[in-house]
Every structure is written in C-alpha cells, then in structure tokens.
Amino acid sequence: DYWAAKAVDSFGDGTNLDKGIYSIYFFNVVKANKGEAVFQDAGIPHAYLEGQNMELMANSDNVLRGGLTPKHIDVEELLKHVAFEATIPNIMHGELQTDGIERIYKSPAPDFELSQIVLNGSKSYETKTSTVHILIVIDGEAQITESDTVLELKKGDALNLPVADNSIDVAAQNCLFNIFKAEDLKKAIAEMYRVLKPHGKLVMSDPTCEQPMNDNLRNDDRLRALCLSGSLPIAEYVKM
C-alpha cells in the first residue's frame, strides 16, 4: 500500500487518478543497491519507483505503456504481449574479470552487454572496440586516450567509442528527430552514413507532420515527451 499511497500523494490531486498506480499489486518490489542489476525479459512489465538507474534496452520495434506516463498508453495492446507468469527477480552482482578492474553483468540479450570498470590510483584499462562502446563516468574523473587524442571526463560525462568507417550493414534510428536539436541531428545522421558500408541501409522511424510546426509547439515539453515536437513535414524529412 505504501507505494500506491506515495504515488497518489506525490503526483495526484485526487481528481484524476492514474489507474496504473494499482499495477504495484501485481509486481515484485525489488530494491537494487549500488552496483547491482536486474534483467527483465520481453513481456515483463516494470516501473521505476525511486532513485536513479541506467537502463539498457534490446532492439525493439515497440514500447508499450499501461500508465504512469504522459506518453501514449495502449492497455489493450500491452495485454496482448504481457507474460502472465509468476517471476522471481534475479539481482545480479556482475562477474569480476581476471584483471580485477572490470565486472561484467551477463544477460540472455545478444544486443548489449553492461560492465562496470573501477579504476583506483594509477590503474588503467585498455580495450579495442569491435562495436559501439558507450562510457559513462558515474563517479570521479577519467582520462581517455586514443592515438594522439586525450579526453578528460568528469562525473556525469558520457563518451561514445565509435566503430570503424564503412563497417555496418544496417543503421536504424527511432524518434531521433524528436530528441536532437538541428545541429546535433546533422552530426548524428553524418555518423550513421560514416559507418554504413557502400549500399548499406539506413532505417528511419519518426512521426511527421503535414506543415511546419510553429515555435510554441516545437518547444512544448509535453509534445517532446510524446516524441512529437521535432516532427518535420514529410517532404523535408525525406531530404534529410
């Protein structure tokens, strides 16, 4: 009852109660401490109650929501895909590697792998990328060196270690136009073309509009949360 009551107290005004609050009675309540992880397979609904976490998702052509969000909710479609089975959450602590630096959190998903790298004092970590690596500094500072390039990162910074030119058969994106500003969008598209092999495929999925959006709509935070504020007219979208 605590979490349902807290949600009502924090976000509800008593007149427009989100029915998604009651899903708590069907869920396992799990507390993941610092350094711990939980893997959830497709068909298992979940909700974040408190704190901060890093979420990695396997490739998917949909995200279905049943409540507690300003984004599109489709309960009927969600129920078609939910696995109505009892589950026992598995809290993972990661496997410490022989170097004593990296801890890998293995999961059944072939799409990604999460690892934690802890560097103390003068220790260093070396890796060679065969796919995209994203580094996020969650505490302290780090120095990244590649050839003659040296980057200094601090807590909260993120760094993408890119793949080689002309090395990818298919690049795909979903709602990129609604997340990035114009200049960042151009960089992102240029990066996709850089990694694609000759005759490689670029797959795009974005909402479009019939005419240009005015500034009020384009700067509307709610429309941005719904992945709509960056919509372009279809003719302009195709030129990108």
List, by residue number, the catalytic residues. 65
> Which SS3 state, helix, strand or coil, does residue 28 take?
coil
Q: What are phi and psi of 128, to 5 degrees?
A: -120, 125
Report in angstroms the alpha-carbon separations of 18 from 12, 13, 64, 73, 207: 8, 10, 16, 11, 26
Half-sphere exposure of residue 169: CA atoms within 13 angstroms, side-chain side: 0
What is the residue type of 162?
Answer: P
Structure-block tokens of residue 83: 């696995």
Q: What are phi and psi of 138, to 5 degrees?
A: -100, -10
